[in-house]
Each structure stands twice: as C-alpha cells, then as structure tokens.
Homo-oligomer: A and B are copies of this chain.
C-alpha cells in the first residue's frame, strides 16, 4: 500500500490525523500505546511523508538550486560533486539548471528557482551576462544567492572564488624560479573577469624580471590553444616554457606537444592552473597550481549555510591555491 497518508492511518485506527502526526514525531502528548500502534501501522503501510505538503506548510523546501553554464565541464562537475556531498548531510537536494551561457535562459532559470521556492541558489554567471539586476528579485523573494567562480563585481552579493591572483602569481614565480626566459602564456576569453584577474596578477609578477620575454595569447577553446601553440613551436626560437590558464588550454597545448613531438620538460616547460584531473593524464604529469572546484564547492556550502541562519553583510571568500609538482617544469 504505497502513497499512504496520515489520513489513511487515522481512518484505520479511528483516531484523528493530528494524533497520528504527533505520534510519528514522538510528541509527549501522545500515549505510548497509541504511538506503538501508529508506528506499526505506518511501518506496514510503508508510510512516507509527502515532502510537497511539508514544504507548503513549512514554507521552505530542502532544495538548493545550482546554475552553471554547462554541466559537461570538469571544473563545474567537481564543484557540484562537492556541493551535493555536503548539503546531503543537512538533508538537502540539488536542482541543477544549465544556463548554456545564455543570459535569457539564466533569467528563466531564476524564475524556476523562485517558483519552486528553493532554499538557496548557487550561481556561476554565464560568459555573456552583463546585467545582474535579475538577481535582485531573488533578494525580494528572500532566497540567498551565493555566486561562485564567475561572479559579479558588485560587492552587494555573496561570492566565493578561486584565489586567482595567488594562483597566477605562484605559477609566475615558479617560471621565474626555473630561469625561463622565453615564455608563452595562453589565457582564456578576455571578457571574463576570471581571465582578467589571472592575467593581471601574472603580468604583475613578471615585471619582477625584465629580462624575461613573455608572449601573451588568448584562446577561447582547446582548438585555438592548439593553433596558437603550433605557431609558436614552429618558430626558430621556441618558447622554453608555456603557461596555461585553464584545463581547456592545457588540453589544446598538449595535443600540439604530442603532434610536434616536443620533449617536456627538456625542450619546453609547462605549467598550468587546473583542477587536477588533466595534469595527471599526461606523461610527464603536468606541474600545476591547483584551483579546486571541489574545495570551492565546500566553501560555497559553508557560506550558504551561514546565509540561511541570518546572514550579515555580504562577503567575498577565496579558496587558497596549492602548488602541485609534476614533471613538466
């Protein structure tokens, strides 16, 4: 007998619905005998509370929204993985929606979250998003929003980010340490604030040593990174090191490395910013500065939980970076 309700139990036992409800919650008002009977019948009837009704009554769902540009992306995966793991402990589930990097879809998705009365939303902005006033509606609806990775500039929002500045600096330092003189640095889409931050920090670090020649290039995807690398490695004067801002770029570079049979690290050194999966699939393993989606997810959860119990002012939090030695530099 599936879909048993309090009412059914009450009818069978010829008691009231409220008594059944309280008995199942071990309320002191109810006698041991009644509790016994109710619990047993609930068991045999396989009673399971209707979460929808509970949500309506309590005016809150045990669901968080997660909006990402695309789910087929290693970095977001680890983020979502961490979040799912973490919120499950508190009895929450996840409603995942993809924006497809489309601002219109993004707004539609917010509406879905509002209508479903989610308890909070984790958002990674789409590449194309410029105006973020749509998110003010979430505030009106009293649904906390924690931005991650691609976050708005506005200090009025809660944000958790990778320590892009630190990470880029660490990578730059490592390159200088190794006495590299002719560096190819490949970055992603310049529109993104993440690119800006990493680029700026990298450039700043490079200023330390003016004897170093750095070529800055930008690739929107792996294929473009591959093409750029092809150009540079066919020059008479090959780069003696390559910096990759992301996994996407690293993958493109490595395809070129394989094609041209470039010896790593003897002919050229490689360092990347990465979540950690891709660096380990190559030989030698790539030296990288970890920008962990997983840890970002954990941090985002912490912040979300704080928001749920009366948030104070908004903050911007960072996940620290970690240098991971491979054999590529």
Q: Which residues of A contact B (CB under 8 A)?
A: 1-3, 46, 48-53, 55-56, 61, 63, 70-74, 77-78, 80-81, 84-85, 93-98, 111-112, 114-117, 137, 140-142, 222, 251, 254-256, 258-259, 281-284
Contact = CB atoms under 8 A, between A and B. Distances in A.
Contact of A3 (B74, B78, B141): B141
Given A46-B140, A53-B56, 4 more contacts: A48-B115, A50-B117, A72-B74, A258-B283
Nearest to A251: B281
A325 B173 CA distance: 42
A15 B214 CA distance: 71
Given A81-B98, A254-B281, A255-B282, A116 B2 contact: no
A80 B51 CA distance: 24
Contacts of A259: 283-284
B61 A71 contact: no
Nearest first, the 6 A-B pairs at minimum CB distance are: A2-B140, A258-B283, A259-B283, A51-B115, A72-B77, A2-B141
Contact of A72 (B81, B98, B137): B81
Contact of A52 (B49, B74, B111, B117): B117
A65 to B, nearest CB: 9
Given A63-B95, A70-B81, A111 B141 contact: no
Contact of A115 (B50, B94, B142, B283): B50
Nearest to A100: B85
Contact of A142 (B2, B56, B81, B114): B2
A200 B48 CA distance: 43
Contacts of A256: 283
B95 A94 contact: yes
A281 B2 contact: no
B46 A137 contact: yes
Contacts of A283: 255-256, 258-259
Given A46-B137, A77-B71, A77-B72, A116 B281 contact: no
Given A51-B116, A78-B72, A258-B282, A84 B97 contact: yes
Contacts of A81: 70-72, 98
A117 B56 CA distance: 13
